[in-house]
Amino acid sequence: MKIKIFSRYFPPDFVGGAEVSTHHVAEALKDRFEIEINTLSKITNKTFKINTLKHPGAFAEMFPSLFSSRLQKQTAINSSKDIIWDADFFGAITTRGLTNRRILTIRDYWPICPCEMNLLVNHSPCNGCTVKNQIECLKIKESPPLRKIVRLLRYRLYYKFNQELINDADHIVFISNYIADKINSRIPVKNYSVINNPLGEEYITECPDKEITKNILFVGVVREYKGIDVILNALPAVIKEHKDIKLTVAGEGDIEKYMNKAARLKVEKHVTFPGKVPVSKMIDMYDRSDILVAPSVRPEPFGRTIIEGMARQCVPIASNHGGPVEIIKNGDTGLLFSSGDHKNLSQLILSLYEDENELREIQHRARADSIERFNPSVIAKQYEEIFLE
């Protein structure tokens, strides 16, 4: 049996966790299925057959039906027995209307939000594409005047179209119960499963017990909705008790803005902003950290950095909403704090450093739980059952 995977990007060309997760599942299935990757990425791969599609152009992407039809003309479905896995929105729009069994994975808010963030300019969740909400959309608000007009038009065209893509698939996979409930509240989905994102095999390799380093890590886009203000505001109280604390904020974004904030808070000597860290160096960064903080003020659909940090014996501390609530067993494999509450966050960090034995025990439990639940072979098996259903 052949599985044809459709993903906008594919490693080593990728944007974020979606492409990484797709790659890990494909790797775990390669010995049981013939796998073909259909992508816009211009890559070579010794493991998988790669079918590189040509982007139809920016004008075509403005109009969903045109974009879809131009991509479909490039697909080669030779057998009705081939299983199609649409690993993202790109896959859904590319294979729309095909009669093969089609599995669609939904990893974010795109069915209910054409900008995929579901976030207003005040960082509150958007409850629908009303004219008012489109004007107040964070992504539109940040755009220059001409792009604002283009995005407003594009969102209007895609809003209903995106919802129709849901009904076109044979089976939907959501990456968390949170995102399943969020989408279902607006677009009822009858035939779906919840399958989490997997770890990479490299995270499961041996991880020696750590020495306490007083290093705290954040990994992600450096933007306000990720809670960077929250973690920086929490830092002075922690440093007051532990003057050797270090915070690393790893990722691209508004780095200068937050370097200035760290200076205003007089904690700049304790914070480093290395920018985007290569995937090859991420494990070393996790291994040198005691705690991973995920303070997002926006509910996250899942939380890939959380499971990666757990697998490398970091204690995760995350906001108490969205997908992270399903990953972390509060008080057992990590800690949850009230979203946006920097005082609560600083208290939890201090509690860990005041009882280093408990910190180590949570580190061990976090690693064991992460490897057991998010092992790529476990996640791939769940996909296999749906492919063969």
Range(s) within the chain of domains with CATH label 3.40.50.2000: 2-200+376-387, 201-374
DSSP type of residue 334: B
For residue 10 the two structure tokens come to 């594919």
* CATH H-level superfamily of 201-374: Glycogen Phosphorylase B; (3.40.50.2000)
Kindly tell me if the per-residue pLDDT of 305 is higher than 90: yes
Q: Which residues pair with 3 in a beta bridge?
A: 35, 83
Per the confidence metrics, is the pTM higher than 0.85? yes
Give the three-class secondary structure for 177. Answer: helix
CA distance 288 to 210: 8
Residue type, position 205, single letter = T
Type of residue numbered 256: E
Distance of CA 106 to the CA centre of its chain: 11
Identify the helix (H) or strand (E) that includes residue 294.
strand 291-294
- Per DSSP, helices labelled H in 242-340 are 255-264, 279-287, 304-311, 324-327
Query: How far, in Å, CA of 79 to CA of 380, rounded?
Result: 23
Average pLDDT (294-306) is 96
pLDDT at 217 exceeding the cut of 80: yes
| CA nearest to 74, candidates 39, 45, 42, 126 | 39
What type of residue sits at position 241?
E
Other CB atoms within a 10 A radius of the CB of residue 32 amount to: 14
Tally Cβ neighbours within 10 Å of residue 278: 7
Give the pLDDT score at 152: 86
Q: How confident is the model at residue 377 (pLDDT cuts 50, 70, 90)?
A: very high
Q: What is the tens place of the pLDDT at every residue in 240-278?
A: 999 999 999 999 999 999 999 999 999 999 999 999 998
Question: What type of residue sits at position 189?
Answer: V
Residue with tokens 């070579």: 44
Q: What is the longest distance spanned by two Cα atoms in the chain?
A: 66
Domain 2-200+376-387 in CATH: superfamily?
Glycogen Phosphorylase B; (3.40.50.2000)
Segment 3-20 mean pLDDT: 89
Can you tell me the distance from the alpha carbon of 110 to that of 139, in angstroms, rounded to the nearest whole number?
13
Query: For a pLDDT cut of 70, what percent of the chain falls above it?
Result: 100
Q: Check pLDDT > 80 for residue 58.
A: yes
Structure confidence at residue 80 as a pLDDT band (50, 70, 90): confident
Angle ∠(66,109,99) on CA atoms, nearest 5:
45
Separation CA 279–CA 15 (nearest Å): 11
